[in-house]
Structure 1
């Protein structure tokens, strides 16, 4: 994975494409090494998946560090269309996705239709034709395409396939795949998340100020370190069963079952890695962290504390009750009171240290785009990412004099890409030489074998003729 990350970053940074690392979903904390029980949170990764889509639309190449099984970009749209549950396809969503018919219905349809019959549809032509001429010649018109039912018992429901939302999603998917602008890295447990976050940050370090780190994952605050976890499943009561080791149980004092069968767990704070991220892993990146609280006053104080302690460029605050309606974005003014001002979004200076908070709402997202059809989360994330991206570009322009400026880093990465390309050519030449030597060796072997076979045949024929002459 480390090689894929570096290749992804090198390829896009060499073309001056901004790189975004987006984390999403919640981390799981096991309490047993052979995990049966664990601590978890309710994060589904929805907001992170929206952020990935919005950043891709704005020209970013995105590394998505997501929780296994959490909401996926674009996939969430298809899931909404077919009314898919979080755990997978529900019974009803199967019928929404597929046009299922009984055997009698299929037989009647086969007898009344020829397999080559063409059906009319208002679907986008790009889904059915590959030539540019066919695609451009059918804009806005009903087109003919092969029937989806070709003798099978089920077919794709046309209401899904012909949905404008599904078609636009598939167009975006195809563009992402063609340009290779999305790389997904998955995690499950909190230790795994921390390790992969470090790996991803070190990979994007070469992008300098072009890199954006969007830390939307819900990371556990407390966990049980692996060396302090129970080895086997924790029993619900003390049965007096001895393990193979001869001890009653192998739990550390961290996990204790009292005589009244009350389970006592000692949880330890998860290591805070944002300071290391800012100082060592990718010090020139634009870093956005998140805070979620149930009280607005506490939220604002925690945002300021987080910015002071972690030295991040932005802290996005969510109040639990209104987290899908508005966010509070904390930034800090630059030298001489220089700050970024976004039209239509008011910001308030909190103190003399330059800490400034802006309130971004879903209504502002609806104002900027009419595509969300009442989807509050989509509208809010659209407005939020719009603010983040503009602030990121402001940050890039403010760091052009830095020794590790974007242009300088692009040049360095371009040289690295050139070096990788030259190494690839050299390896290809060596492989070609090996293939040629192998081909010559095979040819020589065949020649030797042919000569030996010819000599053997000549000898055999001579012997046969000699015997015949003697007779």
Structure 2
């Protein structure tokens, strides 16, 4: 097999996306992933339902082939899980492809809470377990919404762990959803690693300590948004995210991404204010969405403002696709 250095794309130091898939093995559960997704998509294609494919949470980068240590990021999947609920409210079917054990829609209200654990919501009366009365009304609403989504086959939960898992499932998933054409939206909220260690460069076994400092050299992850936009999901509405810590880079980098990859929307936000303010950027528009102090006091979530804006953009995208079809 050729080495990584022999497979670099155009001398730019970046592996071509197609080559990445040849160098790595697909996840063991990819076939099961595809079967579940195909059944879900077929169901909603028949019903002509709009569908959003949400990616959520962070990807891990193994340091050993038999992985003990890995590189991770801080994402717990809040934005994706929260957004899924608002898309369901807006009438979409949702494929939620999330990092294993990260936040999930509806479940998120009772997990990952630093001040109260799930069992603290429950009380025991005689031999019965009940929800503590102070939490009953909210939990009843959340449970009802979750059960309705599952009962009506409008929410499909799929997971990934490593960077390689994510990329194989992203490629496969977007190609399956492509049959929905303009009715599909791709909401790429996962925090995907920018760098990785190719399998050929990894230690096979656990890296042993006691040998002094550890030096790692990581390769850049291929830019998978390019084939996603141009090949895998060319007719869908594609929404990417841009997170920055320097406010002066935020909008220029978002617009640079739109120009470079040719997709439709970037949701840009600063690390420090990502839960209060975002900027939704298209080629022809720029909309700042912010929560007021009163909103924050009433626990309004910024995703409740993001999703209606994206639904409006999707309306226009679908209309423009129908117009083009009539003109052909």
Q: Would you call these one fold, judging by a TM-score over 0.5?
A: yes
Residue of structure 2 aligned with 1:78, choices 101, 106, 110: 110
Q: 1:364 to 1:17 in 2, by over 3 A?
A: farther
Please say which structure displays the higher CA radius of gyration: 1
* Contact 1:364/1:383 (8 A) holds in 2: no
- Any stretches of 5+ residues in structure 2 without a counterpart? 1-32
Give 1:30's aligned residue.
62
Q: Secondary structure at the match of 2:282?
A: strand
| Per-residue deviation, 1:213 | 0.2
Q: Distance in 2 between matches of 1:279 and 1:73?
A: 30
Q: 1:298 to 1:328 in 2, by over 3 A?
A: same
Give 2:148's aligned residue.
175
Give 2:246's aligned residue.
295
Give 1:190's aligned residue.
163
TM superposition score normalised by structure 2 = 0.85
Q: Does 1:359 align with 2:288?
A: yes
Q: 1:225 to 1:320 in 2, by over 3 A?
A: same
Q: Distance in 2 between matches of 1:208 and 1:365?
A: 40
Give 2:312's aligned residue.
390
Q: Which runs of 4+ in 1 moved over 4 A?
A: none
* Contact 2:103/2:111 (8 A) holds in 1: no
Q: Distance in 1 between matches of 2:166 and 2:294?
A: 31
Q: How many matched pairs?
A: 296
RMSD: 2.3
* Contact 1:365/1:382 (8 A) holds in 2: no
* Contact 1:212/1:392 (8 A) holds in 2: yes
Q: Distance in 2 between matches of 1:398 and 1:404?
A: 10
Give 2:99's aligned residue.
67
Q: Distance in 2 between matches of 1:396 and 1:39?
A: 39
Listed as ranges, the matches of 1:28-107 within 5 Å are: 28-79=60-111, 84-85=113-114, 90=117, 93-94=118-119, 96-100=120-124
Residue of structure 1 aligned with 2:132, choices 154, 158, 168: 158
| Per-residue deviation, 1:382 | 0.4
| Per-residue deviation, 1:236 | 1.4
Cα-to-partner distance string for 1:171-211 (whole Å, 9 max, x where unaligned) = 11121122100111100100100000111101110100000
Q: 1:364 to 1:21 in 2, by over 3 A?
A: farther
Cα-to-partner distance string for 1:22-42 (whole Å, 9 max, x where unaligned) = 011000001101111110000
Q: Distance in 1 between matches of 2:35 and 2:246?
A: 43
Q: Distance in 1 between matches of 2:299 and 2:161?
A: 28
Residue of structure 1 aligned with 2:230, choices 255, 268, 279: 279
Give 1:131's aligned residue.
none
* Contact 1:22/1:216 (8 A) holds in 2: yes
Q: Distance in 2 between matches of 1:230 and 1:98?
A: 46
Q: Does 1:14 align with 2:50?
A: no
Q: Does 1:374 align with 2:298?
A: yes
Give 1:437's aligned residue.
none
- Greater relative CO (CA pairs within 8 A, separation 6+): 2
TM superposition score normalised by structure 1 = 0.60
Q: Distance in 1 between matches of 2:318 and 2:294?
A: 24
Q: Distance in 2 between matches of 1:327 and 1:195?
A: 29
Listed as ranges, the matches of 1:40-439 within 5 Å are: 40-79=72-111, 84-85=113-114, 90=117, 93-94=118-119, 96-100=120-124, 149=125, 151-152=126-127, 155-159=129-133, 163-238=136-211, 261-333=212-284, 356-363=285-292, 366=295, 374-376=298-300, 378=301, 380-403=302-325
| Per-residue deviation, 1:85 | 4.2
